[in-house]
A and B are shown apart, each in its own frame.
Chain A
Amino acid sequence: MKGMLEYSQGDTVIHRLNPLTKMLLAFLLCLSSFVSSHILMAVGIIIINIIVAGMAGIANKAFSLLKTLLKIGLILFLLQIFFIRTGNVILDLPLNLYITDTGLNFSVLLVLRLVGATMPLVLMLTVTKMSDLTNVFVQKLHIPYKYTFAFITALRFIPIFESEMNGIIEAQTARGVEFDTKNPLKKLKLVLPLCVPLLISSVKRIEGSAISAELRGFNVRQKNSGYKKYNFSGRDYIAMTASILTLVVSSFVA
């Protein structure tokens, strides 16, 4: 999953869509996979996902995402299938467990829905720059810049804190703390106290960050300060129509 949400550079049709269109496309695909109550339709939506990913030149990423999601789906599938007791029994197992046709149908659909609903959102984020997304939120949806800035800063600080935490763990390892224990509970016990130094250094860093943003005029920003403009073009309308059509079709195919 590492690097899954990272932006992958490109200049395809999908990349050039308005960020808002991409959001809508992803959201509607997500919704379609929920309203579809037919296994074939759910598979169809996953295929649409992969086709769109292919158009954006990230088919490899889509497949590896699909693999990861199917692994999670398998666990869900196993959990779910034994709990549905209605319908005709198609497989009898010891311990009073059995699989019914309704159960099988439901579980498969559940997994496919989960995969179909997760893929578009993740894939959308990999072909959209975070800054474009927040800019368009400010310009078109009139969300205050402060909120989007806080959001983008939070995202940006995750890897910074991660490396800071690694630094602290390394320093403690050098002093003889055995973090490489196999017992997860013991490991948790060892890591938890490190949150204090992490917190202290993070607060310090964030203070510095706030000062530097302030000194670059964060407080004097106006509503229309944004330099990049995000207009809708023909391809945006085509993509929107296509995604609405998908939703309509998937809600009527029972």
Chain B
Amino acid sequence: MIEFKNFSFKYKNGEKNALSGINLKINKGDFVGVIGNSGAGKSTFTYAVNGVIPHHFEGDFFGEVMVKGIDTVDSSPSELALSVGSVFQDIDGQMVSSVVEDELLFGLENFGVPHEEIEARITDILEMVGIEDLRYRNISTLSGGQKQKVAICAVVSLMPDILVLDEPTAELDPQSSHQIFSMLRMLNEKMGITIIVVEQKIMLLSEFSKRLLIFNEGSIYLDGSPQEVLKDASKLQDIGVNCPRVASLANALAERKLYEGEVPVNINDAEVMVRNIIK
């Protein structure tokens, strides 16, 4: 679905490569979580997937990025947008209208979706996410979580194969963040959308994603399922990424030879783990 071949990028006035030597393959239907310190190249990575790099930001582009078999250099961001939907951190900045319905219409109208199909697309996606009651609401009256849901709906209504989200929950409280991730999981499972999400809350990533990418200083530091990645707690600590508490607990228990299984990624698994040990 997405393939990075020896990809490096340096911003026009940047001192060093924002990303260097990225080799990566992401398969259809995957749910990839991306984490790393600021300046590690996470946002640059998302820009490379949705074509903002090299089409919007200038700089030195090396290697190849293929999305659905097409080189991103050869297509325009608008063309790519039909296969890659993008959601950003700045909730208010990414909105284009003042009413929810118009927000959804914007993309559908732009890409020339047949007018007789539009109504069904809008009702379907709003129903699926469970916000059909917000349709005629003014966006400025919505909560942050609701706004972000609207933003995701607006992008998903274009039926992309891939959804790229750059810190979608940065401005949200824990509960809304969890809701957004549940929504992403649903889109991933029901519609088969490949999801790439950059996120600072590692607990959410380890619970929801199928694959974790840890970026450090412009390259991929760790890559694997959450269970695999979180086993190396010391490696994570070296680059200053926090380990979720349940994983820290499991690693500490493993050090004392009390537990040897998979690292739990949510509270329920951790509870099972602890119960088994106590028995």
Contacts and interface: CB of A to CB of B under 8 A. Distances in A.
A227 interface: yes
Which secondary structure characterizes the binding site on chain A? helix
A19 B85 CA distance: 33
B102 A160 contact: no
Give the size category of B's interface with A: 35 or more
Contact of A215 (B52, B99, B140): B52
B77 interface: yes
A7 B138 contact: yes
Interface string A124-149: 00000111000000000000000001
B102 A216 contact: no
Contacts of A152: 97-98
A226 interface: yes
A215 B78 CA distance: 6
B94 interface: yes
B228 interface: no
Contacts of B109: 221, 225-227
B14 interface: no
A216 B155 contact: yes
A214 B99 CA distance: 19
Interface in B68-92: 76-78, 81, 85-86, 88, 90, 92
A159 B96 CA distance: 14
A225 B77 contact: no
Give the size category of A's interface with B: 20 to 34
Contacts of B50: 215
Q: Which of A159, A214, A216, A220 counts the most B-chain CB atoms under 10 A from its CB?
A: A216
Contact of B112 (A153, A160, A218, A222): A222
A19 to B, nearest CB: 14
Contacts of B105: 227-228
A156 B98 contact: yes
B115 to A, nearest CB: 6
A211 interface: yes
Given A7-B138, A129-B99, A227-B118, A216 B106 contact: yes
A156 B138 CA distance: 12
B138 A215 contact: no
Given A217-B81, A217-B111, A227-B118, A212 B86 contact: yes
Contact of B56 (A159, A214, A220, A221): A214
A211 B155 contact: no
A187 interface: no
9 contacts: A149-B96, A205-B90, A205-B92, A208-B90, A209-B94, A214-B81, A216-B107, A217-B111, A220-B110
Interface of A: 7, 9, 129-131, 149, 152-153, 156, 159-160, 205-206, 208-209, 211-222, 225-228
What 7 pairs across the A-B complex have the smallest Cβ distances? A217-B110, A212-B94, A216-B107, A225-B109, A221-B110, A209-B93, A205-B93
